[in-house]
Amino acid sequence: MDLRGIVLAGGTGSRLRPLTKVTNKHLLPVGCKPMIYYPIEKLTGVGIEEILIVTGVEHMGDVVGLLGSGREFGCRFTYKVQDEAGGIAQALGLAENFANGQPLAVILGDNIFEDSLCEHARHFMDQGMGSRLLLKEVSDPERFGVAEIQGDRVVGIEEKPKDPKSNFAIIGVYFYDATVFDIIRQLRPSGRGELEITDVNNAYVERGQMTSEVLQGWWTDAGTFGSLSKANELVRKEPPK
């Protein structure tokens, strides 16, 4: 498959201190594996052989020491350092040379979910252009970026809205064509000084090139003590596909 994978594994992990005082959040255990193994295995399960790992300066050595060349996973890893906390879109922008014009499957490194990505990747590749988001119906959408959808088409995205237009949360699994880097170059930092992935996604919405699919199995992030505990419980009861 002419699809390249990216795992975004930066950030300071401040919500998980003191666990993250000496290690990257994505190296913490979930079940019997480091957290970062799960998004990697989702990508290799699709048949992706080229995967970029983006992480921060402080713990890059630990990440490389754990993952190595990718041989253990049946893929090849490339590594990029995000020098400072500049947002998800800034981290994605570091992947332009790695992408080499190919479409991308991007996963935030603390996403743990049950479903395989195979069907979702195939539908994106059949789409031929634009972007595709994975969504999950949740009971508390005001905590997330929320997609307003018509059929499979995304017609609007709001970040942590007080009055959500749907219950479909954007979970942090994205498919993009190569024009994503043109969009990132045109972004301006938000009020918190970061390049926001919501702005990237809304650019595709404005073009009419954003579609979506809803995960059927369980999903959680693992970025807080509560969600990390939930991830461990879910993996133990129903291992990801």
Q: For the segment 63-103, what is each residue's pLDDT rounded down to a tens digit?
A: 999 999 999 999 999 999 887 777 889 999 999 999 999 99
Q: For the segment 128-187, what is each residue's pLDDT rounded down to a tens digit?
A: 899 999 999 988 888 888 999 888 899 989 888 888 888 899 999 999 999 999 999 989
Residues ≥6 apart with Cβ < 8 Å to 31: 231, 232, 235, 236, 239
What are the residue boundaries of the structural domains of the chain, listed by start? 4-237
Three-state SS at 208: coil
Round to whole Å and give the CA distance between 169 and 147.
6
What's the confidence (pLDDT) of residue 162? 85
Give me the mean pLDDT over the 214-224 stretch. 87
176 φ, ψ to 5°? -135, 145
What's the confidence (pLDDT) of residue 8? 93
What's the confidence (pLDDT) of residue 21? 74
Residues ≥6 apart with Cβ < 8 Å to 180: 92, 104, 131, 200
Alpha helices in the chain (DSSP H): 37-46, 60-67, 88-93, 96-99, 118-127, 180-185, 197-207, 225-237
From 48-52, 223-227, 237-241, the region with the lowest mean pLDDT: 237-241
Round to whole Å and give the CA distance between 148 and 154.
6
pLDDT greater than 80 at residue 22: no
Percent of the chain with pLDDT over 70: 97
Mean per-residue pLDDT of the chain: 88
What's the confidence (pLDDT) of residue 226? 83
Angle between helices 118-127 and 37-46 (to 10 degrees): 60
Round to whole Å and give the CA distance between 69 and 186.
33
The CA dihedral of 39, 45, 50, 54, to the nearest 10 degrees, is 0
Residues ≥6 apart with Cβ < 8 Å to 122: none
Confidence band (pLDDT; 50, 70, 90) for 11? low
Which CATH class, in words, describes the domain spanning 4-237?
Answer: alpha beta
Give me the mean pLDDT over the 33-59 stretch. 92
pLDDT greater than 60 at residue 1: no
